[in-house]
Amino acid sequence: LCSSPSNRSRPLSRVAVSGGTHGNEMSGIYLAKHWLRNPMELRRGSFAVTPFLGNPRAIEKCVRYVGRDLNRTFTTEFLSSAEAEDKPYEVVRAREINQTYGPKGSAQAFDFMFDLHNTTANMGACLIVDSEESLLPMHMCHYIQTHYTRSPCPIYLYKLLGEETYSINSVAKAGLALELGPQPQQVVRADLFTQMRDLMACALDFIELFNKGTVFPAFEIEAYKITGRMDYPRYPDGEISAMVHPKLQVGVDWK
């Protein structure tokens, strides 16, 4: 059960969207580049969206990351650690993003940030929120599920109990990630590109309604919540020693 969002007197005016947080997930990269050339598509009457490329070096090499996963680098450990020349590029980039769109947890941070991803998993159009306690993103998910009818949009809550948020959109006051699949890495599927673009338009329509004072009542909603993480079995030297069973692998990994 999600209650109505609070702070109705505070419209969202500073909104950002990241494409290419992972440099081989192409839908968000191509969309961000499109919006950088055509920003009017992201404008609404009460706000505009700032698009940016999350990990330019990884995008240039068309790899997930060059040093470490950027989308696991927005914790206090990395954002506040001492400067050093041998820091991975993604740590430096995380600090740049935090300085531009944060600082994380501050009153100066952007009001909302979208983060665009693809996956090879058969999870369709997935809406990713840190937890059910994030009321505004949960209401946005409910609005998308109600108004976007092309496909189901399951909700995934990624944060474990007591865990610090670590994703790129955690530098803003609130955020939502879109993860669409299945799509091979380093490939653009036109249908998923269009679907991601339409989902973003629907999400921006929600913000416009929110800014205009629309009342969003409480609701009940189904969401998938992480309960733990399990690594592959490994040999003593760290090499993976097993694989996903065929009954779980072929087209049913999100069923």
Range of the domain at 157: 14-248
Domain CATH number, residue 182: 3.40.630.10
Residue 147 among known ligand-binding residues: no
Q: What is the pLDDT of residues 103-150, one digit of tens each?
A: 999 999 999 999 999 999 888 999 999 999 999 999 999 999 999 999
Q: Is 245 labeled as ligand-binding?
A: no
211 in a domain, yes or no?
yes
Flag whether 7 is in a domain. no
Strands 48-53 and 155-157: unpaired
Domain contains 176: yes
Helices marked H in 25-169? 26-37, 56-61, 76-79, 89-101, 135-147
Q: Are 47 and 83 in contact (CB under 8 A)?
A: no
- The answer to whether position 253 is within a domain reads no
Q: Is residue 105 part of a domain?
A: yes
pLDDT digits (tens, 9 = 90+) for 44-86: 999 999 999 999 999 999 999 999 999 999 999 999 977 767 7
Q: Is the pLDDT of residue 1 over 70?
A: no
Q: Is residue 4 part of a domain?
A: no
Opening angle at CA 116, ends 249 and 44, nearest 5: 145
Please indicate, yes or no, if residue 116 is contained in any of the structural domains: yes
In a domain, 136, yes or no: yes
Q: What is the spatial order of strands in the sheet that 14-19 belongs to?
A: 48-53, 14-19, 112-118, 175-180, 125-129, 155-157, 224-225
Separation between Cα atoms, residue 236 and residue 238, nearest integer Å: 5
Q: Indicate the pTM of the whole model.
A: 0.93
Cα separation, 179 vs 194, whole angstroms: 13
Active site residues: 179
Strand partners, 49: 15
| Nearest in space to 15 (alpha carbons), one of 89, 102, 114 | 114
Q: For the chain, what is the domain count? A: 1
* Mean model confidence pLDDT for the chain: 93
Q: How confident is the model at residue 6 (pLDDT cuts 50, 70, 90)?
A: low
Question: pLDDT-based confidence at 251, cuts 50/70/90?
Answer: low
> Annotation-wise, does 60 bind a ligand?
no
Strand ranges, E, within 119-221: 125-129, 155-157, 175-180
pLDDT, residue 255, reads: 52
Q: At what angle do helices 26-37 and 190-211 cross, to 10 degrees?
A: 60
Q: Which residue has the tokens 């950027």?
A: 70
